[in-house]
């Protein structure tokens, strides 16, 4: 059995190496590649992803997994060995439904579409990407059809790209419950006088913004011996191996929040990846497939930590030192209120914590309408504007800050891309509540610039397990119960009640 297990590890290592190579190719495309590289890059990604897929669907791997079933069943569910066999089997069975030609075509199409989007967004030219997106929609439906018997066409897509086992019906119920609470909350806050945040939009030199953001990332625990930061159009975190976890960011001179909170967000993702048990390197256990779990960590660090008053008790004097001409005369309290200003806005990644989920829920609904055939790609920009008008009361003046703002549909499939953000927000509060129960002085530690206790707790309870557990299993293990929206609502009401008056 030991040799069988070694054989499994060897096979999965080769697949992980190909996936790591694909990640480098994609990262390079999104950071440094000159425009002329796009056609070659799409071809290279298609080839590498085909090879990885062929290895993952090799019938001999299936035989090996059958031979290992007895070993798996003899071991505890959460042991490394049983988890490796279980998670590999899930990947094998899922991948085996999808032909290698399709995987390769989708990889080519994704890279080509990303290139078109990268040109279309600055040019505000939706027509340029429309045919690509129409093809994406077709490919997304075809992908779903490799998994017949679904309740909703998006079910297999969510399972495939972002949240194993999660169904549309579950997300819809969760979102409608949340929406019922959030809409009146946003309206109530909108009636209160807003804080002044004009100083966040004075000029902040790019190089100093980047240096400060990276300093914050490092102080909360990002290991630069195993990571680095580069500029991109739409920030992401990517893992080439557990020794090389990279973040990306973007900067605007007239908006301090973009690079700062975007970087803390990506650092949260990177802390998760850097915290995975090094023994999992080269196996599927080194990959966290759940977008909800991953976003719970980016949003936890970005918001519950990074937008808290104690966090800025520590960092604000340093920030004032970096930008004395702009922030020298702005008191901490005013800065804290400004970075937590609630205001319906156009851009999801810059949205405040209270309105953020409305951006997500409308994207999720539009995705489903596209997949259900109730909405065409041609109608999408108008549908987008209409939902912003009705849900947030703001209307994008153009597609650049409308339907073209997020890379997701233009670098992946349609379906499964967005629900993880809101699930992540909910979970972040639930996990943080659990951490505070064990360490009631966490916020006091932040004020002293100490993030170690929280990081160690998260590593121990969540990060080190990598891809061992599904979202539902992880929530149960960490909090002793299922996913609940109450801690999130309590957190919002308390924090924004203090900022805006009782809610
Ligand atoms: Zn994220």
91: in domain: yes
Between 452-461 and 256-274, two packed helices, what is the crossing angle to 10 degrees? 50
Asked if the model's pLDDT at residue 2 lies above 90, the reply is no
136: in domain: no
The active-site residue out of 266, 273, 302, 367 is 266
104: in domain: yes
Range of the domain at 96: 2-126
282: in domain: no
Cα(237) to centroid(ligand 1), Å = 8
112: in domain: yes
118: in domain: yes
Q: Tell me the pTM.
A: 0.96
CB hemisphere CA count around 146 (13 angstroms)? 18
Cα(369) to centroid(ligand 1), Å = 24
Q: Alpha-carbon distance 138 to 19, whole Å? A: 25
Cα(120) to centroid(ligand 1), Å = 23
Cα(260) to centroid(ligand 1), Å = 14
57: in domain: yes
Closest CA to 337 of 196, 443, 198, 202: 196
Closest CA to 416 of 144, 92, 64: 144
Query: Quick one: average pLDDT of 242-263?
Result: 97
What confidence tens digit (pLDDT) does each residue in 41-94 have?
A: 999 999 999 999 999 999 999 999 999 999 999 999 999 999 999 999 999 999
What confidence tens digit (pLDDT) does each residue in 135-151 have?
A: 999 999 999 999 999 99
Q: Alpha-carbon distance 463 to 273, whole Å? A: 7
Contact call for residues 137 and 146 (beta carbons, < 8 A):
no
Query: Quick one: average pLDDT of 280-286?
Result: 98
What confidence tens digit (pLDDT) does each residue in 140-190 have?
A: 999 999 999 999 999 999 999 999 999 999 999 999 999 999 999 999 999
Structure letter (DSSP) for residue 33: -
pLDDT at position 153: 98
Sequence-ordered alpha helix ranges (H) in 146-196: 155-161, 168-190
Number of domains in the chain: 1
pLDDT at position 452: 98
pLDDT band, very low/low/confident/very high, at 228 (cuts 50, 70, 90): very high
Cα(269) to centroid(ligand 1), Å = 7
266 is known as an active-site residue: yes
205: in domain: no
Phi-psi region of 466 (alpha: psi -120 to 50; beta: other; left: phi over 0): left
- For the chain, percent of residues with pLDDT exceeding 70: 100
């Amino acid at each position: 059995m030991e040799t069988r297990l070694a054989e499994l590890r060897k096979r999965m290592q080769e697949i992980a190496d190909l996936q790591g190579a694909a990640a480098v190719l994609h990262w390079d495309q999104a950071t440094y590649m000159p425009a002329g590289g796009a056609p070659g890059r799409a071809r290279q990604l298609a080839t590498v992803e085909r090879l990885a897929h062929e290895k993952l669907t090799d019938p001999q791997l299936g035989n090996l997994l059958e031979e290992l079933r007895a070993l798996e069943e003899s071991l505890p569910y959460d042991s490394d060995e049983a988890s490796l066999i279980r998670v590999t089997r899930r990947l094998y069975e899922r991948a085996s439904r999808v032909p290698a030609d399709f995987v390769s075509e989708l990889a080519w199409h994704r890279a080509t579409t990303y290139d078109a989007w990268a040109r279309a967004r600055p040019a505000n030219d939706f027509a340029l990407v429309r045919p690509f997106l129409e093809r994406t929609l077709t490919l997304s439906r075809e992908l779903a059809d490799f998994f017949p018997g679904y309740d909703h066409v998006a079910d297999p897509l969510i399972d495939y790209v972002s949240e194993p086992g999660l169904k549309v019906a579950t997300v819809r119920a969760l979102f409608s419950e949340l929406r019922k609470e959030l809409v009146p909350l946003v309206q109530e806050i909108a009636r209160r006088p807003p804080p002044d945040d004009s100083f966040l939009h004075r000029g902040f030199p790019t190089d100093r913004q980047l240096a400060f953001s990276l300093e914050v990332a490092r102080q909360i625990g990002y290991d630069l011996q195993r990571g680095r930061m580069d500029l991109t159009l739409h920030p992401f975190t990517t893992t080439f191996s557990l020794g090389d976890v990279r973040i990306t960011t973007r900067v605007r001179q007239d908006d301090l929040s973009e690079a700062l909170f975007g970087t803390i967000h990506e650092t949260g993702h990177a802390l998760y990846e850097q915290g995975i048990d090094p023994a999992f390197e080269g196996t599927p256990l080194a990959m966290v497939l759940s977008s909800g779990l991953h976003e719970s960590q980016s949003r936890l660090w970005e918001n519950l930590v990074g937008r808290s008053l104690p966090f800025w008790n520590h960092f604000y004097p340093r920030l004032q030192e970096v930008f004395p001409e702009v922030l020298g005369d702005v008191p901490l309290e005013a800065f804290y209120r400004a970075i937590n200003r609630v205001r319906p806005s156009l851009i999801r990644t810059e949205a405040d914590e209270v309105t953020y989920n409305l951006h997500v829920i409308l994207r999720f609904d539009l995705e489903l309408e596209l997949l259900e055939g109730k909405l065409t790609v041609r109608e999408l920009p108008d549908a987008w504007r209409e939902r912003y008008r009705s849900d947030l009361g703001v209307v994008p003046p153009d597609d650049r800050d409308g339907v073209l703002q997020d890379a997701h549909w233009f670098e992946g499939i349609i379906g499964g891309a967005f629900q993880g953000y809101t699930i992540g927000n909910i979970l972040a509060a639930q996990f943080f509540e659990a951490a505070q129960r064990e360490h009631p002085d966490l916020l006091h530690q932040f004020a002293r610039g100490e993030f170690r206790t929280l990081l160690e707790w998260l590593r121990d309870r969540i990060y080190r397990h990598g891809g061992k557990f599904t979202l539902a299993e992880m929530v149960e293990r960490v909090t002793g119960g299922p996913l609940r929206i109450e801690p999130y609502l309590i957190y919002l009401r308390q924090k924004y009640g203090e900022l805006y008056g009782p809610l």
